Structure 1
Amino acid sequence: MLLGLEQALGFTAAAVLITVSPGPDNLMVLSLGIARGRREGMVFGLGCALGCLSHTLLATLGISAALAASPLAFATLKTAGGLYLIWLGWQAWHSQGCQLETTGTEATQPDLWQLFGKGLLANAINPKVVLFFLAFLPQFVVSSHGSVSWQTAQLGLLFTVQAAIVFGMLGYFAGQAGSWLNTSPQRGRLLDRIAGSIFILLGLKLILTG
């Protein structure tokens, strides 16, 4: 059975409000879009959004609850996610910058796929998103509407779709702003280092917070 219209609309409204509120994914998409450009920000944002599919699967199968109940498993995932963000920040710090307007060059397809994969993995291994899906999705499950697992899967897919739209828009407008700022190699390197610092701080925060 499909989600009811009122159920779907109520969930979508709440999901959009949560997605646009300041958070790690927003900061990553915004900083990368400003540093690298519209397409890059949108592709990374799409990867972050589709990373929600893994959390949907975990929540649907009940694996999220098992992870949350195991301190060792959760701590391991938290450390891995934090170290991955730090590694992304380290890469950005050592980037040569991206001069958008003066060169007029565009990212190659492999670069875009790499950015997509980085966004996907950054979201997929974030244990805070695991807990968020575990706490958020069940609030919109209606017992009289049939299978809880099927409703959870539909809610997760709906969340992913709206996140892809929101993050895509964030990446686009961040890239637009970045094109005004990133007009020299020196500015490009500075923007990359700012983005890298944000990634490193988010990684440290993920590791050190409970």
Structure 2
Amino acid sequence: MFGTENLWLFVLSGILLNIIPGPDSLLIAGRAATQGFKAGSAAALGIGTGTLIHIVAAAFGLSAILATSATAFTLVKILGGAYLIYMAISMFRGSKQTTELQGPKTEKSSLKSIYIQGVVTNLFNPKVALFFLSFMPQFISASSDNKPLAFLFLGLVFNFNGMLWCHFIAWASSSMSRKISANQAVKKWLTRLAASLFGVFGIKLLTSTPN
């Protein structure tokens, strides 16, 4: 279909890869746990937007710049790593507050901010671009007349499945959070744990290499 091959294997592999925890799933779980399903969904949609940009860039060869240019890769990873560390610090500082930013006056701007966080978190991770460059071509037929179209098709399938998983994370996290919502101490330490993991992901990204 559309110049692809072994589509069933691609779908299965994509589902398994989406299940592996990372900064994207951590952002969704953290937002859903502290602000509800809508916040988790906003983060998921932001991540899906970032993924779509990566897919289009990879399909038309733009992501190859990250694979071949050490300067471009370093610049993007510094921006991404610094942003993750910034988020970790912000979450840790926010955990010291006793009130939640969930009021009706702040919900709309909060959801927009969370969506942007999702886009930035995904978009400034050069490993995502390199992943698509290395993973997708394995499922594109060598005889395909339009390889960019095949790449885009596979990317959309991957992103669709990813959004289903991401929204499941948002639902599960928000449901679990409601059961412990009365225990502010637990929520505070869960937030600090998430902040610590963001810091670890940020440092890992800063020290990463293209290979």
TM bucket (normalised to shorter chain) is 0.7 to 0.9
Ranges of 4+ aligned residues in structure 1 off by more than 6 Å: none
Matched, 1:174 2:173: yes
TM-score using structure 2 length: 0.87
Amino acid in the other structure paired with 1:2: F
Matched, 1:10 2:9: yes
Q: How many residues align?
A: 206
Gaps of at least 5 residues in structure 2 are: none
Q: How does 1:132-171 map to 2 (within 5 A)?
A: 132-171=131-170
- Aligned to 2:203, the other structure's residue is in SS state helix
Amino acid in the other structure paired with 2:30: S
Match of 1:81 in 2: 80
Q: CA RMSD in A?
A: 2.3
Whether the 8 Å contact between 1:99 and 1:182 is mirrored in structure 2 is no
Match of 1:31 in 2: 30
Task: Measure how far apart 1:43 and its partner are.
Answer: 1.8
Whether the 8 Å contact between 1:36 and 1:178 is mirrored in structure 2 is no
Change (3 A) 1:116 1:97: farther
Q: Distance in 1 between matches of 2:72 and 2:88?
A: 24
Task: Measure how far apart 1:84 and its partner are.
Answer: 0.7
Change (3 A) 1:82 1:28: same
Gaps of at least 5 residues in structure 1 are: none
Q: How does 1:72-151 map to 2 (within 5 A)?
A: 72-95=71-94, 96=97, 108-151=107-150
**Greater fraction of residues in helix:** 1
Q: Distance in 2 between matches of 1:175 and 1:98?
A: 18
